[in-house]
């Protein structure tokens, strides 16, 4: 069916012909079908209706957090060892066992708070999410570039994110008063605040930032013995950051400087790489430490729990399509392979529900059938069926009628269980809602300040004074009080910048949401 005679192709024009999704050639892509040249339009015009109604549905909900991101592909190469020990001593995960074993990876770097088209020069943690397409199925390591987080209980996440997002009335974005109102009432955020407002909150490029799993996971060996583990990505390119002034100049020219830098380097053959290191701890609660190993607002001291290398990741390929790959890739902390496991970290368990829940809503119930999300290097055979957009049908053995299990007539069977049960600690306790006993919200934040170089301290103080100057006095005072409890010099310098002294804040009562130790109470009584 055609209204207008198609033009013969120009000599030598061998481009493919435009069609509808039904495979019908389109002979006129410039004019709708109308009654006479001046209209009215007719309703049966399939090509026009299909084109415009698909366009009307081009957007899916953007990620509720980490909406702005960039994707690249590459390879992880295992060492077969963890430091100088055989890795099989600690984990049976197959991707790590053989020296030189290669696993395909997809990596998505992101900012957290901004929308899909927002600036990459925002002061914000960066997401560092890696999907390993292993022979045992996919493993996602969904982390950030700073190593800790603002909160330690998943129930606080929606409130925390609302404080970082635009005002619900005016939609004004990046409002310091909203963010610091929340931080001032959240003492466990001080460690992360010490990082986000330091130069590390604005990486010079994605290639020059570290990555961390942040939450505590477990490794399980062949005997079922468990270890607590934290993951670290160390960039071969070194670590480099921008100041706020550098970032402002770049942002004046482009919102996508980090994506461009990453893709330019990949295209030029200058492939960025990161070493993967781990810290290991025996699997118990470690009463000798002044923090809880399951608390994601803490780092594990490297002098006690040294970094041990397990492999290297190199990125060498860009996606072919932004939407199909970057927008639809779906990471989650529940996506683990045999030999890797969860810990009871209260953030990790909450995250593990949240990711696949949002992806069923954001991408659809069959999001795992999309090429970028498939476990492409493992056999997949489920009895799942139906749902919007199902297109793949799993191979399910000799009798495709049997889409259930168990059955004596065919279909899929259960796999062989690992030879040993997990030998992790036994846990007994009452159901409760309670803070972990060892909160220690200030020590590591203060140490971070003290260990910074002078220019990093100066940058931190400048950035904090700049943001806090836009907040009301009660918020400023409470933040200065927290900084004094972290480190006297830090409190003094931010206070000087805001015209607030130790005398002004010494009388503040501890927050209801915190339990201070005797030593902290004494410090609070003698601030400055
Ligand atoms: C993305 C929830 C904490 C790193 C997301 C998304 C949700 C979410 C709903 C969007 C996922 C999507 O639409 O595909 C949560 C919850 C948390 C939490 C409930 C706390 C309880 C964290 C922490 C980290 C982190 C501590 C860092 C260690 C990321 C990253 C992404 C992400 C990197 C982007 C993944 C991608 O590139 O697609 N998070 N998150 N999140 N989150 Fe979290």
Cα 201 to Cα 222: distance, rounded to the nearest angstrom: 40
Token couple for 448 = 């971070």
Question: Looking at ligand 1, which atom is closest to the CA of residue 348?
Answer: 21
Residue 451: CB atoms within 10 A of its CB come to 9
pLDDT value, residue 5:
46
Q: Is the separation of the CB atoms in 516 and 443 below 8 Å?
A: no
Residue nearest (by alpha carbon) to ligand 1 atom 14: 330
Residue nearest (by alpha carbon) to ligand 1 atom 34: 66
Question: Looking at ligand 1, which atom is closest to the CA of residue 330?
Answer: 14
Cα 448 to Cα 431: distance, rounded to the nearest angstrom: 35
392 CA → ligand 1 middle, Å: 27
Residues in contact with 320: Cβ distance below 8 Å, sequence separation at least 6, in sequence order: none
Q: Give the relative orientation of helices 346-362 and 157-164 as an angle to the nearest 10 degrees.
A: 70
355, 357, 364, best to mutate for ligand 1 pocket (most atoms within 8 Å of CB): 355
Active-site residues, by number, are 66, 144
Q: Is the separation of the CB atoms in 152 and 434 below 8 Å?
A: no
354, 364, 367, 370, best to mutate for ligand 1 pocket (most atoms within 8 Å of CB): 354
Residues in contact with 29: Cβ distance below 8 Å, sequence separation at least 6, in sequence order: 18
Question: Looking at ligand 1, which atom is closest to the CA of residue 125?
Answer: 27
Question: Looking at ligand 1, which atom is closest to the CA of residue 153?
Answer: 21
Tokens 């009388």 -> residue: 507
E runs forming strands in 296-405:
308-317, 340-342
pLDDT value, residue 1:
41
pLDDT value, residue 7:
62
Token couple for 302 = 């490297």
| Segment (H or E) for 450 | helix 443-451
For residue 355, say whether it is annotated as part of any ligand binding site. Answer: yes
What are the φ/ψ torsions at residue 204 (nearest 5 degrees)? Answer: -65, -35
Cα 177 to Cα 163: distance, rounded to the nearest angstrom: 9
Q: Is the separation of the CB atoms in 472 and 177 below 8 Å?
A: yes
453 CA → ligand 1 middle, Å: 31
Ligand 1 proximal residues by C-beta, below 6 Å:
63-66, 69, 108, 110, 127, 129, 142-144, 149, 154, 157, 214, 296, 329-331, 347, 350-351, 354-355, 358-359, 362
Tokens 């004596």 -> residue: 408
In the three-class reduction of DSSP (H, G, I as helix; E, B as strand; rest coil), residue 301 is classed as: coil
- Specify the DSSP class assigned to residue 327: I
Using only the alpha carbons of the chain, give its radius of gyration: 27
Sign of the CA dihedral 446, 450, 455, 456?
negative
The per-residue pLDDT string of the chain (528 residues; one tens digit each, 9 = 90 and over) reads 444 445 677 888 889 999 999 999 999 999 999 999 998 999 889 899 999 999 999 999 999 999 999 999 999 999 999 999 999 999 999 999 999 999 999 999 999 999 999 999 999 999 999 999 999 999 999 999 999 999 999 999 999 999 999 999 999 998 999 999 999 999 999 999 999 999 999 999 999 999 999 999 999 999 999 999 999 999 999 999 999 999 999 999 999 999 999 999 999 999 999 999 999 999 999 999 999 999 999 999 999 999 999 999 999 999 999 999 999 999 999 999 999 999 999 999 999 999 999 999 999 999 999 999 999 999 999 999 999 999 888 877 778 899 999 999 888 988 887 777 777 788 899 999 999 999 999 999 999 999 999 999 999 999 999 999 999 999 999 999 999 999 999 999 999 999 999 999 999 999 998 989 999 999 999 998
112 CA → ligand 1 middle, Å: 8
What's the Cα-to-Cα distance from 428 to each of 48, 111, 216, 423, 431, rounded to whole Å?
64, 39, 20, 15, 10
156, 323, 351, best to mutate for ligand 1 pocket (most atoms within 8 Å of CB): 351
What are the φ/ψ torsions at residue 410 (nearest 5 degrees)? Answer: 140, -150
Q: What angle do CA 245, 250, 254 make, to 5 degrees?
A: 150
Q: Is the separation of the CB atoms in 91 and 81 below 8 Å?
A: no
355 CA → ligand 1 middle, Å: 7
């Amino acid at each position: 069916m055609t209204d207008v005679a198609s033009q013969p192709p120009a000599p030598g024009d061998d481009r493919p012909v435009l069609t509808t999704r039904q495979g019908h050639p389109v002979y006129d892509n410039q004019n709708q079908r109308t009654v006479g040249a001046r209209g009215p339009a007719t309703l049966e015009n399939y090509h026009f209706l299909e084109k415009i109604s698909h366009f009307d549905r081009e957007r899916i909900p953007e990620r509720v957090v980490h909406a702005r991101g960039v994707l690249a592909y590459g390879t992880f190469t295992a060492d077969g060892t963890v430091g100088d020990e055989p890795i099989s001593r600690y984990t049976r995960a197959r991707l790590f066992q053989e020296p030189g074993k290669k696993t395909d990876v997809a990596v998505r770097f992101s900012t957290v708070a901004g929308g899909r088209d927002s600036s990459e020069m925002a002061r914000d943690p960066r997401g560092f999410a890696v999907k390993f397409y292993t022979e045992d199925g996919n493993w996602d390591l969904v982390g950030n570039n700073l190593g800790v987080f603002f909160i330690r209980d998943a129930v606080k996440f929606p409130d925390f994110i609302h404080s970082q997002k635009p005002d619900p009335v005016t939609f004004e974005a990046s409002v310091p008063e909203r963010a610091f109102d929340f931080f001032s009432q959240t003492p466990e955020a001080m460690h992360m605040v010490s990082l986000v407002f330091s130069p590390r909150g604005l990486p010079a490029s994605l290639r020059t930032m570290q990555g961390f799993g942040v939450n505590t996971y477990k490794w399980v060996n062949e005997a079922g013995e468990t270890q607590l583990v934290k993951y670290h990505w160390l960039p071969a390119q070194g670590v480099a950051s921008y100041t706020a002034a550098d970032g402002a100049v770049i942002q004046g020219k482009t919102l996508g400087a980090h994506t461009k830098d990453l893709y330019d380097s990949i295209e030029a053959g200058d492939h960025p790489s990161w070493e993967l290191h781990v810290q290991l701890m025996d699997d118990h609660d470690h009463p000798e430490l002044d923090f809880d190993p399951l608390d994601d607002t803490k780092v594990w001291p490297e002098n006690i729990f040294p970094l041990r290398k397990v492999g290297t990741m190199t990125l060498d390929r860009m996606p072919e399509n932004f939407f199909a790959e970057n927008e639809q890739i779906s990471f989650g902390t529940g996506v683990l392979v045999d030999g890797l496991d969860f810990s009871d970290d209260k953030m990790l368990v909450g995250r593990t529900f949240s990711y696949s829940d949002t992806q069923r809503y954001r991408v659809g119930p069959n999001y795992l059938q999309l090429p970028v999300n498939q476990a492409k290097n493992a056999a997949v055979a489920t009895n799942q069926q139906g749902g919007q957009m199902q297109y793949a049908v799993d191979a399910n053995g000799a009798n495709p009628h049997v889409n259930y299990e168990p059955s004596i007539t065919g279909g899929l069977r259960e796999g062989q269980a690992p030879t040993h049960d997990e030998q992790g600690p036994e846990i007994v306790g009452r159901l409760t809602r309670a803070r972990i006993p060892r909160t220690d919200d200030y020590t590591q934040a203060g140490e971070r300040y003290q260990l910074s170089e002078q220019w990093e301290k100066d940058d931190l103080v400048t950035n904090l004074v700049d943001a806090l100057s836009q907040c009301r006095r009660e918020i400023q005072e409470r933040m200065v009080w927290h900084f004094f409890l972290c480190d006297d010099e830090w409190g003094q310098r931010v206070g000087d910048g805001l015209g607030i002294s130790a005398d002004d804040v010494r009388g503040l009562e501890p927050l209801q949401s915190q339990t201070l130790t005797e030593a902290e109470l004494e410090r609070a009584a003698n601030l400055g």
